[in-house]
Amino acid sequence: MVSIESIIKIVKNMNKISLLLLAVVAAFTFSSDVLAQRRVSLKINDGIGNVPLKFKIEESVSNLMCEINRAEANNRSLDLYGMNMTQDARHQLKTLWDNVHFYCDESEIVERCLQTNRGYQVRNIPLIMKPVGETLNKQEYQEAVISFSKEGKITGFNLTLSMNMYSKVMQNTMEITDVRRRMEILDYVEYFRTSYNRKDLSFLRQVFSEDALIITGKVIKVRPSEVFPSGTKITYRKQNKKQYLTNLAAAFKRNRYIHVNFDDIKIVAHPTKSNVYGVTVHQSWNASNYSDEGYVFMIWDFTNEYEPKIHVRTWQPDYLDKAKGVRMNPNDVFTLGDFTL
């Protein structure tokens, strides 16, 4: 005959088993939900008629974005083994990941595919950026562009200009009538911008010409006068390529992360020299130990369109006195007319 105590013990054990099963089911359901939220798929709605190639690009981007989401969720390195990418694209992505982690919170991305001189592009890939070692309040929305060869292999991963800026330049037929050239310039400007986020000195060493002129402005206090009513003025420091890259390398080492963003852009063709362009951007520089805003002007030479060079790079501060809201006069920003090539 079974005692009352034995029956109570059996019931308690059954309750424990039930609770354990419920916990396992809940954990599995939660994990499934998290995995479902982390999955990303790309759907191309226009721009490419080759159906097998379209599917190949869609699959490559979907696989890559899913891996990015998994790596961010587990705070680990990217595993790009087996991805349909060139070695250069892997390097670009891994060096960017060393500086800033990111993820995509969209389960489906629907975009058109753009045809370029070298292959294809898919733009407007939404990302939430999380600088390595920083708190959650440092998160920022950005977009990426993924480039492909004509065979559909990923050849590049860069942070983009905003779609408004990109469209504005691509639709502007007044300055540069060659659409292909406008696209090339924008591609290199985006690559240039992302190279600072990647701390990619090798690319910067390649893109600056050997006789490049680098000018950096600095605001100093002076006695208020009719010429300097704000009590400030900008002094300029000139550097050559070697000096600039040496100082930049030191800045890369001092800062855990560097995030450079361009929120405005203007491109002007040189009036007498073909393949030479003046590019003006409004830049925000945010790093772990320093931040600023200002105007960057560059003279790009596309004589060799596969290896364009920057002959001039200038930086001028946005504000003469930020506390008082005194900005630099936009008419004082450097232009092509200030330099003789």
pLDDT tens sequence across 314-338: 999 998 888 788 888 888 899 999 9
pLDDT in tens, 55-83: 999 999 999 999 999 999 999 999 999 99
Q: What is the mean pLDDT of the chain?
A: 84
Q: Which two tokens stand for residue 93?
A: 């992505």
**Could you give the CA distance from residue 308 to residue 300 in angstroms, rounded to a whole number?**
7
Torsions phi, psi for 57 (to 5 deg): -65, -45
Asked whether residue 133 is assigned to any structural domain, the reply reads: yes
Mean pLDDT throughout 174-178?
A: 58
My answer on whether 259 and 324 are in the same domain is yes
Asked whether residue 6 is assigned to any structural domain, the reply reads: no
The domain in which residue 225 lies consists of: 187-338
My answer on whether 155 and 193 are in the same domain is no
pLDDT of residue 183: 84
pLDDT of residue 29: 39
pTM: 0.80
Name the residue among 228, 284, 216, 288 with its Cα closest to residue 252: 288
> For the chain, what is the domain count?
2
For 297, the 3-state DSSP assignment is strand
Asked whether residue 5 is assigned to any structural domain, the reply reads: no
My answer on whether 326 and 205 are in the same domain is yes
pLDDT of residue 245: 97
* Statement: residue 255 has pLDDT above 60: yes
pLDDT of residue 27: 42
Across 23-42, b (16+ Cβ under 10 Å) vs e yields eeeeeeeeeeeeeeebebbb
Asked whether residue 19 is assigned to any structural domain, the reply reads: no
Break the chain down into helix, strand, coil percent, rounded to 5.
Answer: 40, 35, 30
Question: Cβ distance 194 to 160 under 8 Å?
Answer: no
pLDDT of residue 188: 92
CATH code of the domain in which 147 resides: 3.10.450
Between strands 108-111 and 41-44, the pairing is parallel
Burial of 79 (0-12, 13-18, 19+ CB in 10 A): exposed
pLDDT of residue 15: 56
My answer on whether 126 and 234 are in the same domain is no
Query: Which alpha helices (DSSP H) does the chain contain, by range?
Result: 4-38, 51-73, 87-99, 163-171, 179-197, 201-207, 241-254
* Statement: residue 210 has pLDDT above 90: yes
Question: Cβ distance 62 to 84 under 8 Å?
Answer: no
Torsion of CA 187, 121, 155, 35, to 10 degrees: 120
